[in-house]
Amino acid sequence: MPRGAERAARLSSVLEVIYLVFNEGYAASAGEHWIRPALCADALRLGRISAALMPREPEVHGLLALMELQASRLRARVGSHGEPVLLADQDRARWDHLLVQRGLAGLRRAEELSGTLGPYTLQAAIAACHARVRSVEATDWPRIVALYDALAALTGSPVVELNRAVAVTMAFGPEAGLELVDSLADEPALCGYPLLPGVRGDVLVRLGRLEEAREEFERAADLCDNERERELLRSRSVACGGPYQPPAC
């Protein structure tokens, strides 16, 4: 184990790699599977080793809490044929409640060790807002918006801002959410990112602007490299009215 300044210099990179491994398992970027549980298990193993080796590092506990809270949903994230199941449609009885309790305990540990909450602890706090309730409707969306405000100020990440727009939609209505999504339209970091048109399509559905939503879901599907996610987006396009029309060659 490195010590002192050497460990501090390397820690953020180590945590970033662990989280990248977890995310590729939680929502595979490409291929025919929506999730890859073995990758999530590897990331959790590495996170637990890190927490044991560095028990006084708040962000190590924050990352582990985040991964445990997210991993608790894995069984509910896919249907019987491997199709994606979005958060609003998940059977929360299928969540792993032992992982939920472990994640909440890890979050408390991270908060106790922190002066100012770091990015992983803030994300774990957001995940905890979902884990503590039994439905999307019961979720404390204003609290999630506040946590995203803090996370956006800390990271300056356009992806965080896009996630914040989703929370704003749920907390304060689709008009407010659409304004935020549209403010990100020219963000270079989101160019070619399928979740940008995907989120915009979802907000437009909530506004009843189905033809525009259909076009956004089609655009998101064209940008997506994961087969299961592409199928989901195309099914959402069809649900907005009319058959899916592939782009002209």
pLDDT of 238 reads: 96
Q: Calculate mean pLDDT across residues 156-183.
A: 98
Nearest to 59 by CA among 114, 2, 5, 8: 114
Say how far apart CA 199 and CA 219 lie, in whole Å. 11
Q: Which of 139, 157, 174 is the last residue of a domain?
A: 139
- Tens of pLDDT, residue by residue over 27-57, are 999 999 999 999 999 999 999 999 999 999 9
Residue 158 in this model has a pLDDT that exceeds 60: yes
pLDDT of 5 reads: 85
pTM score, two decimals?
0.94
Residue 248 in this model has a pLDDT that exceeds 60: no
Say how far apart CA 130 and CA 116 lie, in whole Å. 22
Say how far apart CA 14 and CA 97 lie, in whole Å. 28
Say how far apart CA 1 and CA 53 lie, in whole Å. 8
| Number of independent structural domains in the chain | 2
Q: Judge whether 249 lies within some domain.
A: yes
Clarify whether residues 130 and 222 are in a common domain: no
Range of the domain at 125: 4-139
User: For the CA atoms of the chain, what is the radius of gyration?
Assistant: 19
Q: Bridge partners of 77?
A: none
Clarify whether residues 198 and 116 are in a common domain: no
- Tens of pLDDT, residue by residue over 57-76, are 999 999 999 999 999 999 99
Clarify whether residues 105 and 209 are in a common domain: no
Whether 21 and 42 have beta carbons less than 8 Å apart is answered as yes
pLDDT of 247 reads: 45
Tokens at residue 5, please?
């300044």
Say how far apart CA 156 and CA 179 lie, in whole Å. 18
- Tens of pLDDT, residue by residue over 89-115, are 999 999 999 999 999 999 999 999 998
pLDDT of 3 reads: 82
Q: Which of 115, 139, 163 is the last residue of a domain?
A: 139
pLDDT of 82 reads: 93
Clarify whether residues 93 and 198 are in a common domain: no
Clarify whether residues 86 and 204 are in a common domain: no
Q: How far is CA 151 from the centre of its chain?
A: 13
Proportion of the chain above pLDDT 90, given as a percent: 92
